[in-house]
């Protein structure tokens, strides 16, 4: 099953809440955030892509194919997902953000189980009442629906999810694994705790 799944790390944002820096390349414990994420995601999938819109040569140093959004202007995570789906040859794609260094090591298995059980087009992680929208597994064949959604000018992940057959997969037992780093203060706090 693992060989039928491609992973993509979404690192194409503006990093506005962190002062406009490239979040995936910010260091935690002496290593870029994207490296932490890759180390957790890579063993769960057959291939890993990185979606980035800046510093592409630096991201290529991690040994992955790096894709810039097809559309220009930092259009959000759906633009990165769209480009990754267009370049994926596997049946499924799993997306994760670059700023969650402790993502679950069983993320892909649990999302996959949820998709199969419910016959869903997309599985998304949920902790408590919080849907973790950028942690999702999607069938490659829904790319045309995403193309149409983005062509209409919509960008909101929640609106797109509402148009699909989605299963929410509970991760209440690993809620802390989904905590992300959005600001320099959050990064500093993580540096002090060591993770």
**pLDDT greater than 80 at residue 191:** no
Q: Which of 12-26, 107-121, 129-143 has the lowest mean pLDDT?
A: 12-26
C-alpha neighbours within 13 Å on the C-beta side of residue 96: 35
Q: What are phi and psi of 70, to 5 degrees?
A: -65, -40
174 contacts 107 by C-beta, under 8 angstroms: no
**pLDDT greater than 60 at residue 18:** no
Q: What are phi and psi of 37, to 5 degrees?
A: -65, -45
Domain residue spans of the chain: 2-193
pTM of the model: 0.90
Handedness of CA 13, 126, 135, 93 (dihedral sign): negative
The secondary structure of 40-108, three-state, reads HHHHHCCEEEEEECCCHHHHHCCCCEEECCCCCCCCCHHHHHHHHHHHCCCCEEEEEECCCCCCCCCHH
Q: 193, 182, 164: which is closest to 26 by C-alpha?
A: 182
Span 39-85, pLDDT tens digits:
999 999 999 999 998 899 999 999 999 998 876 655 678 888 999 99
Q: Cα–Cα distance between 19 and 5 in angstroms, integer?
A: 34
Task: Return the CATH architecture of domain 2-193.
Answer: Alpha-Beta Complex (3.90)
3 state DSSP class of 11: strand
Whole-number percent of the chain with pLDDT over 90: 59
């Amino acid at each position: 099953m693992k060989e039928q799944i491609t992973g993509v790390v979404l690192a194409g944002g503006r990093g506005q809440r962190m002062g406009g820096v490239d979040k995936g390349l910010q260091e935690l414990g002496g290593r870029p955030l994207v490296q932490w994420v890759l180390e957790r995601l890579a063993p769960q999938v057959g291939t890993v892509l990185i979606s980035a819109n800046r510093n592409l040569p630096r991201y290529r140093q991690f040994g992955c194919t790096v894709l810039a959004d097809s559309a220009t202007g930092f259009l959000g995570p759906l633009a990165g997902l769209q480009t990754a789906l267009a370049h994926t040859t596997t049946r499924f794609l799993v997306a994760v953000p670059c700023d969650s260094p402790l993502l679950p090591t069983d993320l892909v298995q649990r999302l996959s189980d949820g998709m199969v059980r419910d016959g869903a087009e997309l599985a998304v992680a949920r902790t408590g009442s919080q849907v973790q929208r950028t942690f999702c597994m999607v069938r490659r064949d829904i790319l045309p629906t995403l193309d149409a959604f983005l062509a209409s000018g919509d960008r909101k992940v929640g609106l797109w999810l509402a148009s699909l057959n989605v299963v929410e997969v509970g991760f209440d037992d690993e809620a802390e694994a989904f905590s992300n780093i959005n600001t320099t203060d959050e990064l500093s706090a993580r540096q002090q705790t060591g993770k």
